[in-house]
């Protein structure tokens, strides 16, 4: 029984020493998890057809003091009966910070 108690005490001392030595590093690694992340203002996506990438889609959002501007751009290229076809589309919208569309 004494051997078990001695082993447990020795393990506790080693664990405490290890923990205390590495505590600052653990805190530094966990710090980004506590910080609130700003929302991503630009996102990129792949456009896929039958498992093949045929284009890209980009969405961006810019917030200023009085307005929010959202831009979406789609660009695709594929073959139809051996003929290459390219298409693109861009849409931009502007609204107030409260969410009301602007003319």
Please list, in sequence order, all residues whose beta carbon lies within 8 angstroms of the beta carbon of residue 70, skipping any fewer than 6 positions away: 59, 60, 61, 92, 93, 94, 95
Give pLDDT, residue 72.
Answer: 96
Residue whose C-alpha is closest to residue 64's, from 81, 41, 33, 44 = 41
pLDDT top residue among 11 and 3: 3
Rounded distance between C-alpha atoms, residue 61 and residue 92, angstroms: 10
How many CB atoms sit inside 10 A of residue 47's CB?
Answer: 15
Burial code (b: 16+ CB inside 10 Å, e: under 16) for 65-87 equals eeebeeeeebebeeeeeeeeeee
pLDDT at 98: 86
- Per residue in 36-77, pLDDT (tens digit) is 655 668 999 999 988 999 999 999 998 888 888 999 999 999
Tell me the pLDDT tens digit for each residue of 79-99.
Answer: 889 999 999 999 999 999 888
Residue range 11-46, pLDDT digits in tens: 666 666 665 666 666 666 666 666 665 566 899 999
């Amino acid at each position: 029984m004494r051997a078990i108690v001695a082993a447990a005490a020795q393990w506790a001392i080693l664990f405490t020493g290890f923990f205390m030595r590495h505590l600052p590093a653990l805190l530094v690694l966990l710090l980004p998890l506590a910080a609130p992340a700003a929302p991503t203002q630009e996102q990129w996506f792949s456009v896929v057809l039958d498992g093949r990438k045929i284009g890209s889609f980009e969405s961006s959002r810019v917030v200023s003091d009085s307005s929010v501007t959202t831009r979406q751009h789609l660009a695709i290229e594929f073959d139809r009966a051996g003929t290459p076809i390219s298409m693109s589309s861009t849409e931009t919208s502007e609204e107030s910070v409260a969410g009301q569309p602007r003319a």
